[in-house]
C-alpha cells in the first residue's frame, strides 16, 4: 500500500490535519508543555429546595405565602357563616318555583247569619248617581283566544261622575277587565270565541262601570237588590260600581274573585247566553251563569224569584268566577 503523505510543504515530523475536524488544542504540537492541573473544588450537590428555588425564582417564595393567606381567608369565612346558638336559623328560600298559583286567594271573612245572601255588604263608598254618559278609556289589546267562530270587540268605559281613584283608577279597572277576558279559564276556554279590546269605532259591546241609580234605570229594579246586567238595546254591559266596591255575601269578602265573576257573568249575557242556571252539584262549583251575586244556594235564589228557573231543592254550591275553571 502507498504511504499516506501530508500536504505539500508540510514538516515531516508534524501530524496531518483531517478535513473538517478540529483538535482539542489545534495550536499546540507534541512538544507543547503540559497544562497545569486544575485545582480541586469542594462543590456540594444542590438539595431539592435549592433546585426548586433555582428553577422558579421569586415564585418559589410567593406560592407558599399565597397558600397560607388563602387558608386563613377560608377559615375566617367558615367561622363567620356559623349560626350562633342563641339565633334561630332562617328558613331556606326555594331556588326554583315549580308551580304558579293562578287563582286569587280565597278570603276567610264571614258575614252575619242575619244578612241576606243578596244584600249589599258594608264597605267603601260608591257613587249613587252618575251623569248617565260614559267615557271610553284609551287602550287596545291584541286578540285573545282562538276565535274559530267569532271574535268579539269591546270597549272599556266609566260613567262620568264616578271617581275610580279609591280602587286604583281607570287604568286598574281596565286592566281587570282585560286580564279577566284573557285568562284561559274565561270564555276563551272555548276555542270558538276570542276577544279584542278597541277604543273607538262600533264595538260589539261596551263594558261600563256604572253608578247605582243608572244601573237601576238600565237594568230594572224588580228584585230590590243591587245588580248588574247586559242591556242589549245599548249594547252595554252595565257593571254596578256598588258591587265592584263591596262585592257579594256569597264570595265571603273575596273582592278580586267577585270582580272576575261579575265581568264573566255579564259578558256571558253579551255573547248570547240569556238564561240563568242553578246549582246542580252540592258543594260543587257554581256555574258561571248562576246569579251568584244573590247567592250560591238554590233556595236563596228561588226565594227571590219564585217563578224563575232555579228550583228550591236544597243544593248549595261554592262560588266560582270562571266559565272554564279547570282550563
Residue with cell 268579539: 152
Q: Which three cell numbers stand for residue 19?
A: 478535513
What is the percent of the chain with per-residue pLDDT over 90, rounded to a whole number? 62
- pLDDT score of 42: 53
What are 147-194's pLDDT values in tens digits? 999 999 999 999 999 999 999 999 999 999 999 999 999 999 999 999
The candidate with the shortest Cα–Cα distance to 196, out of 246, 237, 147, 257, is 147
Residue bearing the bigger pLDDT, 7 or 291: 291
According to DSSP, residue 316 is labeled B
Kind of pairing, strands 205-210 and 229-231?
unpaired
Residue bearing the bigger pLDDT, 46 or 96: 46
Domains of the chain in start order, with CATH, are 134-247+255-276 (3.40.390.10)
264 CB contacts (<8 Å, ≥6 apart)? Answer: 180, 186, 187, 288, 321, 322, 323
Q: What are the beta bridge partners of residue 286?
A: none
- pLDDT score of 116: 85
pLDDT band at 142 (very low <50, low <70, confident <90, very high): very high
What is the percent of the chain with per-residue pLDDT over 70, rounded to a whole number? 65
What are 10-55's pLDDT values in tens digits? 444 444 434 443 343 444 445 555 556 655 555 555 566 566 556 6
The candidate with the shortest Cα–Cα distance to 31, out of 4, 6, 13, 7, is 13
Amino acid at each position: 500500500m502507498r504511504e499516506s503523505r501530508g500536504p505539500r510543504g508540510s514538516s515531516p515530523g508534524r501530524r496531518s490535519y483531517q478535513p473538517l475536524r478540529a483538535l482539542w488544542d489545534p495550536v499546540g504540537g507534541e512538544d507543547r508543555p503540559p497544562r497545569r492541573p486544575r485545582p480541586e473544588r469542594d462543590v456540594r450537590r444542590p438539595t431539592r429546595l435549592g433546585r426548586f428555588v433555582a428553577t422558579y425564582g421569586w415564585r418559589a417564595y410567593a406560592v407558599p405565602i399565597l397558600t397560607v393567606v388563602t387558608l386563613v381567608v377560608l377559615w375566617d369565612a367558615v367561622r363567620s357563616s356559623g349560626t350562633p346558638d342563641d339565633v334561630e336559623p332562617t328558613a331556606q328560600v326555594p331556588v326554583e318555583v315549580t308551580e304558579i298559583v293562578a287563582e286569587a286567594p280565597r278570603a276567610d271573612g264571614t258575614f252575619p247569619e242575619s244578612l241576606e245572601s243578596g244584600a249589599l255588604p258594608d264597605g267603601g263608598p260608591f257613587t249613587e248617581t252618575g251623569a248617565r254618559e260614559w267615557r271610553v278609556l284609551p287602550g287596545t289589546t291584541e286578540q285573545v283566544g282562538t276565535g274559530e267562530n267569532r271574535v268579539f270587540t269591546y270597549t272599556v268605559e266609566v260613567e262620568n261622575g264616578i271617581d275610580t281613584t279609591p280602587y286604583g283608577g281607570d287604568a286598574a279597572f281596565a286592566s281587570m277587565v282585560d286580564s279577566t277576558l284573557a285568562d284561559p279559564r274565561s270564555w276563551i276556554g272555548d276555542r270558538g270565541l276570542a276577544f279584542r279590546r278597541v277604543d273607538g269605532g262600533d264595538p260589539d259591546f261596551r263594558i261600563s262601570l256604572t253608578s247605582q241609580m243608572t244601573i237601576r234605570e238600565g237594568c230594572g229594579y224588580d228584585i230590590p237588590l243591587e245588580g248588574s246586567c247586559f242591556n242589549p238595546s245599548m249594547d252595554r254591559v252595565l257593571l254596578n260600581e256598588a258591587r265592584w266596591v263591596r262585592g257579594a255575601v256569597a264570595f265571603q269578602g273575596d273582592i278580586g274573585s267577585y270582580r272576575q265573576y261579575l265581568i264573566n257573568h255579564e259578558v256571558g249575557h253579551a255573547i248570547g247566553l240569556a238564561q240563568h242556571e242553578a246549582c246542580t252539584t252540592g258543594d260543587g262549583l257554581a256555574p258561571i251563569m248562576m246569579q251568584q251575586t244573590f247567592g250560591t244556594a238554590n233556595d236563596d235564589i228561588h226565594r227571590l224569584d219564585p217563578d224563575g228557573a232555579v228550583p228550591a231543592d236544597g243544593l248549595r254550591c261554592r262560588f266560582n268566577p270562571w266559565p272554564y275553571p279547570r282550563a
